[in-house]
Amino acid sequence: MLTGSIVALVTPFTRQGNVDYSELEALVNWHVESGTDAIVAVGTTGESTTLTHDEHIDVVRAIAEIADSRIGVIAGNGSNSTAEAVHLTERMAHLNIDGFLNVTPYYNKPSRQGIIAHYQACASASDKPQILYNVPGRTCCDMQPSLVAELAQIDGVVGIKEASGEVSRVSELRQRCGAEFILLSGDDPTATDFMLAGGQGVISVTANVVPAQMKQLVDLAVAGQGDAAQQLDKTLQRLNQMLFIESNPIPVKWALALLGRLQANYRLPLTAPELASQKVIEQALIDAKLL
């Protein structure tokens, strides 16, 4: 359950700012029905940085219980503090989850040795598999393939979510890290090319809005059916772009609200999109024949 079409699930909130577990249950069931292979619970798209540790664990626990092994569950366990990341990992290790997604420490700008020590500590905190997460646009740290290859030697590190958007890295990562190392795209606009180059899936924001279409796209691309995959990808590209018109997950939650899937509630410092962005998101949904 660590490959295929994986949704970076949003975390719904009530108008009062609490986690809306009713809406969360409906979202999980929708993804099960739509064929999504796995859910990333409380990653960046799940507004992990604004949840308390107890809320973080409670949301992962709830998703795992609702999923009930019908769909894979991958828990976000990243932090810019190694101690916090280890703490989260230890507290979630007993849950019915398939593994962890661990973002590179952000803000601190650690050295190469600091990154290695961070992931060694996290991997030692649980026997569940760990997926590295490289997203330089948010962390100011870009894990080059040579470093990823070194991290791949750590027991428990099984793959990477690569969100740099550089498709050319796929072949080098495969060569350096071996055939068993899982390569997942973390960039919706380039995900199809990433998979056609040898990637085994995508951790997708867009899958929140079009889970069935994303599942179909991933299956085509992973099977090497390039023409069909590219044709379907063309129909989703505007949606891919518009869901990042403002900081994620602002646009995707607004889109889901327009589709009636949740209320568009955020935690500060995130707020509703600007009026101009709202209109663009709505038009993208209309163009995709979702509204």
Is 82 flagged in the annotation as binding?
Answer: no
Alpha helix locations (H) across 152-202? 169-177, 191-196
Cα distance between residue 267 and residue 103, in whole Å: 21
Cα distance between residue 210 and residue 287, in whole Å: 13
Burial-class residue 11 by CB neighbours within 10 Å (0-12, 13-18, 19+).
buried
Is 45 flagged in the annotation as binding?
Answer: yes
Cα distance between residue 50 and residue 138, in whole Å: 15
Give residues with Cβ within 8 angstroms of 275, minimum separation 6. Answer: none
How far apart, in Å, are the Cα atoms of 191 and each of 60, 74, 177, 188, 243?
26, 19, 20, 5, 14
- Known catalytic residues are 133, 161
In the chain, DSSP finds a helix count (H) and a strand count (E) of 12, 8
Residue 46 has φ and ψ, to the nearest 5°, of -85, 15
Q: Which residues fall in the annotated binding site for pyruvate?
A: 45, 203
Q: Which residues fall in the annotated binding site?
A: 45, 203
